[in-house]
Amino acid sequence: MFVASKTMAPMSRPFHDSLTIRAAPSALGGLGSGCGIAGGMLDAARGLQACGLLAFERARTLTVVVMTTQTTATTNNSAQTWIITGASKGFGRALAEAALAVGDQVVVAVRNPASVADLADAHPDRCAVARYDARDTAGAENLVRKAVDGFGRVDVLVNNAGRALIGAAEETSDEQLRELMDLHLFGPAALVRAALPLMRSQGGGTIVQMSSQGGRLSFPGVSTYSASKFALEGWSEALAGEVAPFGIRVILVEPSRFRTAFNAADVLEFTEAADTYRDTLAAVRADMAGADGVQEGDPAKAADIIVGLAHAEQVPLRLPLGAEAVDRLSAAYRQGLAGVQAWAEVARSADFAASARPI
């Protein structure tokens, strides 16, 4: 295991210089090639491993540092300004209601402003409505500008808009695959890029990426949905390390099945079933179609957790929500680790016997 202790350094210094990395001895054998170390050949193999571990852990630790102390830009008790996409229903609506309930300001970004008119009417000074399609990358800067014009800042950005497509990979068209990538990756990425300069100037902020347990594991029938969520997760994990030096935190929320409109007949999309996969995916299609209204997760409870984290000093990089997510992700991690260990010697044999430089 790796343990990182952090001491604050002036922001002009490289951020990783303020990190002290301590590696448990049992972890040193797992990295293979490292980097060249001046000062002789004594114990070179161990030195190479240690240097490789240090470089790797420095890069990784920034995604751990993102879980640390909240910046002075927003204190636990201060009102925060949110942008929430897909806020007309489900998680987005629940988050908007929860944030407003604690006294925060919210910009609800929706395709149909009439769907959230009641929120604006109930909170005219703290809730602004923006017409916004989360796939429209060109509109991201205008959405951030609307929040600044109305409330002066953006403390929390929630990329929530999303939906699923159920069907075999071979049944899915390029157009369908690209549409979900636009919705779950390119749209959120554009909005994050639009918000980052403002968050840096403020000295901090929190980015909440609504992913899924399907962003860490997959199964037959959800290849397109998982592809887009896996992409969001990888992009966001790298982002977390890049923006941590500026006091900006990233949370990847990974829910299981919650009682939102996700499984509703007018939201959930199915590919045209091919005879080849009809029997293989019949149970998956039936389960997804029949889940609406009986999902075990409570969106209001989830929203309270997320709003609480936005005001907290520490946040996780990844937050599974719901018992199913905890159980399934735990099992997937154990299975994945077992697979790595089972093939570890074969994998290590692919390296050169010795290396004098980073690979």
Cα atoms in the 13 Å half-sphere on the side-chain side of 36: 4
pLDDT digits (tens, 9 = 90+) for 156-204: 999 999 989 989 999 999 999 999 999 999 999 999 999 999 999 999 9
pLDDT digits (tens, 9 = 90+) for 26-43: 332 332 333 333 334 444
> For the domain 81-321, what is the CATH superfamily, name and number?
NAD(P)-binding Rossmann-like Domain (3.40.50.720)
State the pLDDT confidence band at 2, using cuts at 50, 70 and 90. Answer: very low
pLDDT reading at 108 higher than 50: yes
Phi/psi class of residue 171: alpha, beta or left (left: φ > 0; alpha: ψ in -120 to 50)?
alpha
Could you report the per-residue pLDDT of 229-267, keeping only the tens digit for each?
A: 999 999 999 999 999 999 999 999 999 888 887 877 778
Q: 199: buried, middle or exposed (CB in 10 Å: 19+, 13-18, 0-12)?
A: buried
Length of the chain: 359
pTM equals 0.79
Q: Which of 114, 82, 95 is nearest to 195 (CA)?
A: 82
Q: What is the reported pLDDT for 67?
A: 45
pLDDT at 39: 39
> Can you tell me whether residue 19 is helix, strand or coil?
strand
Pairing assessment for the beta strands 105-110 and 165-166 based on DSSP bridges? unpaired
pLDDT of residue 68 exceeding 80:
no
pLDDT confidence of residue 291: 79
pLDDT of residue 357: 63
Catalytic residues: 211, 225, 229
Using the predicted structure, report yes or no on whether residue 152 has a pLDDT greater than 50.
yes
pLDDT at residue 3, as a whole number: 35
- The confidence score (pLDDT) of residue 34 equals 35
pLDDT tens for each residue of 265-302: 778 788 899 999 999 999 988 888 887 787 888 899 99
Query: What is the per-residue pLDDT for 329?
Result: 95
Which pLDDT value is given to residue 125? 96
Mean pLDDT (the chain, rounded): 82
CATH 3.40.50.720 residue ranges in the chain? Answer: 81-321
What the block records as the tokens of 190 is 């554009």
Short-list 244, 219, 232, CA closest to 161:
232
Predicted confidence at residue 28, as pLDDT, reads: 29
Q: Which residues contact 254 (CB under 8 A, 6 or more apart)?
A: 211, 212, 213, 215, 216, 318, 319, 320, 321, 325, 329
